[in-house]
Chain A
Amino acid sequence: METEDKKREDLVPIFIMGKRYDVPSSLTIQKAMEYAGYQLIRGCGCRGGICGACGTVYRFPGSYKIEVGLACQTMVQPNMYLAQVPFFPATKSVYDIEKAKPTIDTLVKAYPELLRCLQCNTCTKSCPMDIEVMDYIAAGMRGDITKLAELSFDCVMCGLCTSRCPAELCQYNIAILGRRLYAKYVAPKAEHLVSMVKKVEEGKYEKMLRELMETDEETLKKLYTARETEPEQAGEDWIPQDKTYL
């Protein structure tokens, strides 16, 4: 059955769950699966590399190495054998962030298996975001919440690390606990926000906003055009000349 399509020169063979399809070499794995005829339900989300729905594992014939990628971000390569891992069972500890403390005890109580890490580095090698997963787990084991948060920040929670961990950790859920502890308790609080919220609640801006709401369009346009703009390169200490509506 020689269709027009098969004559295209840019087609390369890929093996989706072991079955061969010939797809254009310029496609990502995700688009190649659609080209092959799949209507995706699982394993497809933002299509932009951030939601973590399309974790994919693949291998080439003759190679021992398991490769990983996000299907929406990884180009097809000839003879790749691939399968998506759209879901992997994970442990998720339920905790009260209001009562938690930013300590190693919180991490270990929520995820006792954290201490089972073998430091084999398989997680890091399995991360499509190039995150130093083992290093942030190590930071967690030392109780270094800041490092845990910083190193794991780019995590898209695809679960590939978890799928391959011999110690059966769920790294990404440990990571988000760490980041929330860091942001809530370790990083200094934004004091400017506290005072702003207070001013809003006291009704400081109520009257001036009501006035704006009742203003006709022409006057509003004048106020808009005349408003003072903070220069782009201004420093944190910039203060406007007109302070009437602050």
Chain B
Amino acid sequence: MPYTEELKQLIKKVEASRAARVEKKKKGEEVPLLSLRERQERLEKYHPDFREGSRREIRVGPSKGYAISPEIVNLLEAKSRVNPDAIDLTKIDYETDVLVIGGGGAGTSAALMAQEAGVRVLIATKLRHGDANTMMAEGGIQAAGKETKDSPYYHYLDVMGGGHFKNVPELVKTLVTDAPKSLAWLERLGCMLTKFEDGTMKALHGGGTCRKRMFYAADITGAEIMRTLRDEARNRPDIKVLEFMPAVELILNEHGHCAGAVLYNIETEEYFVVKAKSVILATGGSGRLHIRGFMTTNHYGATGDGLVLGYRAGVGVCFLHTVQYHPTGVVFPEQAEGILITEKFRGAGANVLNIDGEQFVNEREPRDVESASFIREATEIGKGVPTPSGKVGIWLDSPIIDILMGEGAVKREFPGKYILLKRFGIDICKEPMLVYPTLHYQNGGLEYNNKCETAIPGLYSSGEVSGGVHGENRLMGNSLLDVCVFGRIAGISAAEYVKGNPKDGKLNLDHVRRYHKELEEAGIVTDRVAPMILPDYSNPEVRKHQLTSHYVGTMR
């Protein structure tokens, strides 16, 4: 729905301050960036990670005692979906060299590289191939791609600063040095990145970058990358894809190596056994857990499945004590709530403003600091913009971009968001957007190294399911980069491992039995099962009427 009369009145205050803000931009005057100390104070006071009850210790498994989001702990302190004794692992339904779990950016990149290395590849994915957070990433992909002004050295510094200097250095180094190569790989695959007429790729700033190195494909960079990778995978018929077949458990062999997975056909409710010489976990993030009750920008399938699978098999987790809230999720209209408004708007010059049309923070702080500043302005300072549904938002002044970059820039650079909000009667070339922090990214995840190896031989991890490269807070444009860089590496590593003829052996699910026992010993009595697979958005009123006492015969 279009802005209400009340909101339209408030927009006048944004318009009133616009001319002066344009002048400041032209003179290069910005709201000063916070010092590292000020950043820390702001996070500790206002970021949701620091709120009471935002962390709880895990009581079982390899990272026992580590305090993270209770929503994730609940998944880890849950039983398997299947009774390990009910599955006959001698009956193999699918056999492959490399099993890739997850059909998003990381999984598909891995599949392409493994296939190129000459091994058999099978992708198993929960929904359709390409249904992933990669598809939804908008703003861009970082790479030090212009040697006259940038280098991996500066990219490294930015990544570390964004992640509070806690990132795993080896992973960061790999990310920033492989970045130009990955971008060139995308160009070679025919990914339509936005360019000047001479072929120079256009680039913008992102929060926390010191050089403009955010390359992009309009405002649907992730979708363009994902559909290109998927099309390429479909051009290679020896990459097999199983859709609507999430993995629910990893399978190990008698030597303790990863040797496959149990898949679940979510349409027929059957379980299948895949035997593989190596397995890549590329299941993505967990926004659909709605941590701290926040709305999310994430895909329907982002339920943290890979964390559960890897953890149960014995891989530790790290950096899950921080969660990324993207500063600018839609808060009005209600129908579009939670939908991501790319950081590229701020990279292109859009100011963020309070109810009086005043600036209160530089629009290009790292995401966690920016989000904390929004929350501060809306709560303690009390200058948020109230919405008709009783929420509160901050203005993101998109029309200023047309003034700074020339008439038509908003429509040209942000066609996806223009059409999305136009459907609701809001013209973002003329009216600002109303936004608020929204759950966006799983900063941490499974422990792995820069070859994507985990603690278990034959098991690789790649993309958002993994932790370490982004430290405690990821910068914009480094997730698309992450899935390309570490997706490719995982594919190469897994194929190499296969070529080294890993020992074959009897398959088992003993780790699941052990895990169940550990839960019992820790006194955890629960009927929760994990992975979650899909979030439950069913209507409680309908639930009340679902009275089947137990399921018999054909009617579920």
Give the B-binding residues of A (Cβ under 8 A): 3, 5, 26-28, 31, 34-42, 44-51, 53, 73-75, 92, 94-97, 129-130, 149, 153-154, 156-157, 176-177, 179-184, 187-197, 199-201, 205-206, 208-210, 212-213, 217, 220-221, 223-225, 227-234, 236, 238-240, 245-246
Asked whether B420 is an interface residue with its Cβ less than 8 Å from the other chain, the reply is: yes
- Which of B192, B235, B237, B299 lies in contact with A45, CB distance below 8 A? B299
Q: Which residue of B lies closest to A240 (CB)?
A: B149
Main secondary structure of the interface of A (DSSP, over half): loop
Inter-chain CA distance A153–B414, complex, in Å, is 12
For this complex, 17 residue pairs linking A to B, each with C-beta atoms less than 8 Å apart, are: A37-B538, A41-B534, A45-B300, A48-B340, A49-B339, A74-B423, A154-B416, A156-B223, A180-B231, A182-B192, A190-B195, A195-B147, A196-B146, A208-B151, A220-B165, A224-B161, A246-B150
Inter-chain CA distance A195–B148, complex, in Å, is 11
Q: Which residue of B lies closest to A129 (CB)?
A: B419
Residues in B with CB closer than 8 Å to A197 are 180-181, 184
- Which of A92, A189, A223 lies in contact with B199, CB distance below 8 A? A189
Shortest CB-to-CB span from A168 to chain B, Å, is 20
Inter-chain CA distance A39–B151, complex, in Å, is 48
Inter-chain CA distance A45–B226, complex, in Å, is 14
Give the A-binding residues of B (Cβ under 8 A): 25-26, 28, 30, 35-36, 127-128, 130-131, 135-136, 144-154, 156-158, 160-161, 165, 169-170, 172-173, 176-177, 180-181, 183-184, 187-193, 195-201, 205, 210-212, 218, 220, 223, 227-228, 231-232, 234-235, 237, 244, 266-267, 297, 299-301, 334-335, 339-340, 347, 349, 364, 404, 415-416, 419-420, 423, 534, 536-539, 541-542
| Inter-chain CB contacts under 8 Å: number | 250
On whether A239 and B541 interact (CB within 8 A), knowing A183-B187, A227-B154, the answer reads: no
Shortest CB-to-CB span from A180 to chain B, Å, is 3
Shortest CB-to-CB span from A49 to chain B, Å, is 5
Inter-chain CA distance A66–B231, complex, in Å, is 30
On whether A230 and B149 interact (CB within 8 A), knowing A49-B420, A183-B192, A236-B200, the answer reads: yes
Kindly name the residue among A197, A206, A239 whose own CB sees the greatest number of chain B CB atoms within 10 A. A197
Are B153 and A46 in contact (CB-based, < 8 A)? no
Are B267 and A41 in contact (CB-based, < 8 A)? yes
Residues in B with CB closer than 8 Å to A27 are 335
On whether A209 and B153 interact (CB within 8 A), knowing A26-B334, A39-B534, the answer reads: yes
Shortest CB-to-CB span from A20 to chain B, Å, is 15
Are B26 and A233 in contact (CB-based, < 8 A)? yes
Q: Which residue of A lies closest to B191 (CB)?
A: A183
